[in-house]
Amino acid sequence: MSQVEIGSNGTPKIGVYVCHCGINISQKVEISETVEFAKKLPYVTVAREYKFMCSDPGQELIQQDIREGLVDRVVVASCSPLMHEHTFRGAMAAGGGNPFLFQMANIREHVSWVTVDKKAATKKAKALIAAAVERIALHQPLERVQVPVHPDVLVVGGGIAGIHAALTLADSGKKVYLVEREPTIGGHMAKFDKTFPTLDCSACILTPKMSAVGAHPNITLWTYSEVIKVDGYVGNFKVQVKRKPRYVDEEKCVGCLECIKACIFKEGKFRNEFDEGLSKRKPIYIPFPQATPLVAVIDPETCIQFKTGKCKKSCAEVCAPEAIDFEQTEKIKEIEVGAIVLATGFKTFDAARVSRYGYGKYPNVYTSLEVERLVNAAGPTGGEVLLHNGEKPKAVGIIHCVGSRDVNTNPYCSRVCCMYSLKLAHLLQERTGAEIYDFYIDMRTPGKGYEEFYERVSHEKIHFIRGRVGEVTDWAMEPEEVGKLVMRAEDTLMGAVRRVPVDMVVLSVGLEPQKDVEEVRRIFNIGCSYEGWFLERHPKLAPVSTFTDGVFLAGACQGPKDIPDSVAQAGAAASEAMAIVDRGYVELEPNTAFIVEDLCSGCKTCVSICPFSAISFDEEKKVAVVNGALCKGCGTCVAACPSGALQQNLFTDEEIFHEIKGVVSYV
């Protein structure tokens, strides 16, 4: 069955290099014993050990042995191939060898770091080395295939991260598609009044960037749109974008607002999503005055014309450019891009889940995002902090960590809440003169100028109380508590339970992954962490890459982060995308399937099984044909082939059989 005989490229000369990794491996694995063992394995000509194989002198050891003709195949026993396979393949090539005559034995992540007993660890290390040696004897020299890269880039999500990534890419001359689900870009940042710690006006720094996106000749902005399908691979993605009908022609609408004034609803009647429900909007609306694009949208759920078909359509009557189009339908756009930046952001924690804080029960319990709208000069109250009864609060309580650092909701720290709570404390104090009570667990202010901001705010009329609030209740026990919301908490610095009566409670809600994160990650074929944040390729060394080449992450979709971090990450993701596009080509792993025509019986099992339609059938020759550019190298067809005619480079049946033999039959 074997297509490749050992020695078909001359007798293999295998070099085994065992790494100490400082003491990471050597403290659990007897290195010299392992090296002696390796020397006795078939076709091994050289076995050496070194402190750090990945270092320059370590790589030089390999290269020297290749140059001197001592070895032509290399096994490095060190860390995970996901860590350093790339490094050592490069070293092989630099030494004049073929980078694919290389195999790693993972004796760090899979052995020394997870095993207590030194004897057992040494034994397991030997088994993994034997497995690698067994299979490397069969490896064939391979070449990477070069594929050209499409120069355009897709950015998904039009919050501050997506905006910054799109602008960076567009400024470098790339054509960018920016796809945003909402009718306007801007994301969460557009809802804020001020940003910490500088108290920059959010709109002042964001809206210029939004209009830059709208006006940029290199950016195609598709709002009210969603990516529904992604095919292809790095450098050559084929993407389908669904453009939802907004019933207003984007090309014609000039944003004059006449249609909104003319709507048969005299007043707003429906929940204004942009104001977190604190104001009402009409069925035809523009989310906020700086919306980009400045184009109205009709909500068919509330529009009389869509509900009954009997509206007099006064909006259409007054629209001079005749932009209103009730017949508009959903459109699917197909685009090709070389790289993708995902900046799909976050949602805030649903405060109603912590019922003891009374959100949804007591009208004067607000979420922090609602308060952001209240303090915003462009918000529902024009920046005046007014309760639902129209009065100014005289005392306000802020609760940190609602939906964060809590085993009942989310165990992680949402990172931004301490800082925005301090900001809101400052703004509320400034706008109302109220007494502010700020309940925190730990005050976390790690950032440039953050601790200084805390220091500054702590000198204002704000009471900081260290303790998690037990409950918010309207049950008065003292006369001064009547008609108030009472916050009950243990002051852990004072060592006493306190009851603090206030007029308004602010819940500093944490950050959570978007609701449809599962769906989105499947579309883009990337992973999620346990909590649902998009998983980066490496937490330290590849923080904006994903396990799918060519798909990069920016902003809070990867984990809670503030504006400076989101922008920094967006810049990083943009430059990673540029690196792919500017090189102009990608090299594909050669681990693709290939067919041994003589063995193919023409059963076509593989044709239907391939998820990438990479296998077709040659009716003349009656054999299956693999398209190497479409094959992604999963090997599913290889396992399914009943006659062993399909094989996978780097994972042939024989290579795996030998690896199995090596891993169990020596030690």
In terms of Cα–Cα distance, which of 23, 132, 150, 74 is closest to 585? Answer: 150
> What is the closest distance, in whole angstroms, from the C-beta atom of residue 471 to another protein in the complex?
33
CB 295 within 8 A of CB 137: no
Q: Which of 89, 123, 415, 426 binds another protein (CB under 8 A)?
A: 123
> What is the closest distance, in whole angstroms, from the C-beta atom of residue 165 to another protein in the complex?
24
Residue 648 within binding range of another protein, rule CB under 8 A: yes
Residue 144 within binding range of another protein, rule CB under 8 A: no
Choice between 172 and 636, CB closer to another protein: 636
> What is the closest distance, in whole angstroms, from the C-beta atom of residue 126 to another protein in the complex?
9
Choice between 52 and 657, CB closer to another protein: 657
Residue 10 within binding range of another protein, rule CB under 8 A: no
Asked if residue 197 has a cis previous peptide bond (ω within 30° of 0), the answer is: yes
Strand ranges inside 380-517, DSSP E: 395-402, 435-440, 462-466, 469-473, 485-491, 496-502, 504-509, 511-513
> What is the closest distance, in whole angstroms, from the C-beta atom of residue 270 to another protein in the complex?
36
> What is the closest distance, in whole angstroms, from the C-beta atom of residue 643 to another protein in the complex?
12
Binding mask 495-534 for another protein (x = CB under 8 A): ---------------------------x--x-xxxx----
Q: Helix, strand, coil shares of the chain as percentages rounded to 5?
A: 30, 25, 45
Torsion-angle region of 602 (φ positive above 0: left; ψ -120 to 50: alpha; else: beta) = left
Residue 630 within binding range of another protein, rule CB under 8 A: no
Phi, psi at 185, each rounded to 5°: -85, 175
Residue 548 within binding range of another protein, rule CB under 8 A: yes
* Segment interacting with another protein, rule: CB under 8 A, options 142-150, 265-273, 563-571, 648-656: 648-656
> What is the closest distance, in whole angstroms, from the C-beta atom of residue 327 to another protein in the complex?
37
Residue 128 within binding range of another protein, rule CB under 8 A: yes
> What is the closest distance, in whole angstroms, from the C-beta atom of residue 108 to another protein in the complex?
7
Dist. CA 90–CA 81, nearest whole Å: 13
Residue 594 within binding range of another protein, rule CB under 8 A: no
Residue 590 within binding range of another protein, rule CB under 8 A: no
Residue by residue, DSSP assigns 108-176 as: IIIIITT---HHHHHHHHHHHHHHHHHHHTT-----PEEEE--S-EEEE--SHHHHHHHHHHHHTT--E
In terms of Cα–Cα distance, which of 227, 224, 243, 222 is closest to 551? Answer: 227
User: 204 Cβ partners below 8 Å, 6+ apart?
Assistant: none
Binding mask 59-98 for another protein (x = CB under 8 A): ---------------------xxxx---------------
Parallel/antiparallel/unpaired status of strands 176-179 and 219-222: parallel
CB 359 within 8 A of CB 399: no
Dist. CA 115–CA 123, nearest whole Å: 11
Binding mask 23-62 for another protein (x = CB under 8 A): --------------x--xxx--------------------
Strand ranges inside 295-445, DSSP E: 297-298, 331-337, 339-342, 346-348, 365-367, 395-402, 435-440
* Segment interacting with another protein, rule: CB under 8 A, options 14-22, 365-373, 429-437, 634-642: 634-642
Tokens for 444, please give them. 């976390």
Residue 667 within binding range of another protein, rule CB under 8 A: yes
Dist. CA 364–CA 479, nearest whole Å: 20
Choice between 113 and 306, CB closer to another protein: 113
Choice between 429 and 605, CB closer to another protein: 605
User: 187 Cβ partners below 8 Å, 6+ apart?
Assistant: 157, 158, 159, 160, 161, 162, 163, 345
* Segment interacting with another protein, rule: CB under 8 A, options 281-289, 462-470, 481-489, 647-655: 647-655
Residue 377 within binding range of another protein, rule CB under 8 A: no
* Segment interacting with another protein, rule: CB under 8 A, options 284-292, 311-319, 617-625, 629-637: 629-637
Q: How many helices (H) and strands (E) does the chain have?
A: 17, 34
Choice between 262 and 609, CB closer to another protein: 609
Choice between 7 and 449, CB closer to another protein: 7
Question: What is the CB neighbour count within 10 angstroms for residue 89?
Answer: 20
Phi, psi at 505, each rounded to 5°: -115, 135
Would you say the C-alpha torsion 432, 435, 439, 442 has a positive or negative sign? positive
Residue 415 within binding range of another protein, rule CB under 8 A: no
Asked if residue 560 has a cis previous peptide bond (ω within 30° of 0), the answer is: no
- Give the binding-site size for another protein (rule: CB under 8 A): 62
Residue 476 within binding range of another protein, rule CB under 8 A: no
In terms of Cα–Cα distance, which of 96, 61, 55 is closest to 75? Answer: 61
Binding to another protein (CB under 8 A) within 234-253 occurs at none
Q: Which of 153, 160, 189, 638 binds another protein (CB under 8 A)?
A: 638
Q: Which of 127, 138, 297, 615 binds another protein (CB under 8 A)?
A: 127
Choice between 173 and 411, CB closer to another protein: 411
List of residues contacting another protein (CB under 8 A): 37, 40-42, 80-83, 106, 108-111, 113-117, 119-121, 123-124, 127-128, 131, 134, 522, 525, 527-530, 535, 547-548, 591, 609, 611-612, 632-636, 638-640, 648, 651, 653, 656-661, 663-667
